[in-house]
Amino acid sequence: MSAQFLPSGPALATSMVPELMLLGFAAWTLLVLFVAVGYYRWNLIFRGQAGLGDFPSDQVEGADWYKRAMRAHANCIENLPVFAVLVYVAHALQVGGAWMDLLSALVLAARIPQSLVHICFVQSDRVVGVRFSLFSVQLVSFFVMLALILQRLP
């Protein structure tokens, strides 16, 4: 899987791009929790419209954007371990280079707009199509990263 337009060489073997993209993914997950979910809940609590125990995890109630934010955060949580394992194993096996850098950057570059589209827009067929397209970029990136890792196994 090499291409002439992608740089390669020993300098990229020690690149920390995948690890930095993983850190960015984790930071984004926390930001979605804090800004969207946390803001909504604490706003209601401080205004006296809800108590601390009024947010059961098995029954999400509230504004539509808040429900979407809860699902967007859960989706980040669901995909973060997959990305983390791929980055960890790639690092442990010294699988790096331009392809791993590009793929890991694509994961984060697609994750952020996927979450924003999920939270900010009412879910029409078009919006769900955009979300699914962005998720597909991440999924394909995960599979190609996995293939690159598996090629290094004895």
Q: Within 7-61, where are the H helices?
A: 10-13, 17-31, 39-46
Whole-prediction pTM = 0.85
Q: What percent of the chain has pLDDT over 90?
A: 70
pLDDT digits (tens, 9 = 90+) for 18-35: 999 999 999 999 999 999
Average pLDDT over residues 30-49: 90
Which domain, by its residues, includes 120?
Answer: 15-152
Assigned token pair, 95: 């699988």
Instruction: Let me know if residue 79 belongs to a domain.
Output: yes
Which CATH number do you get for residue 113? 1.20.120.550
What is the pLDDT, as a whole number, of residue 107?
98
| Domain count for the chain | 1
Confidence of residue 69 (pLDDT cuts 50, 70, 90): very high
Asked whether the predicted pLDDT for residue 147 surpasses 50, the reply is: yes
Residue 79: count other Cβ atoms within 10 Å of its Cβ: 19
Bigger pLDDT: 110 vs 38? 110
Assigned token pair, 14: 């020690």
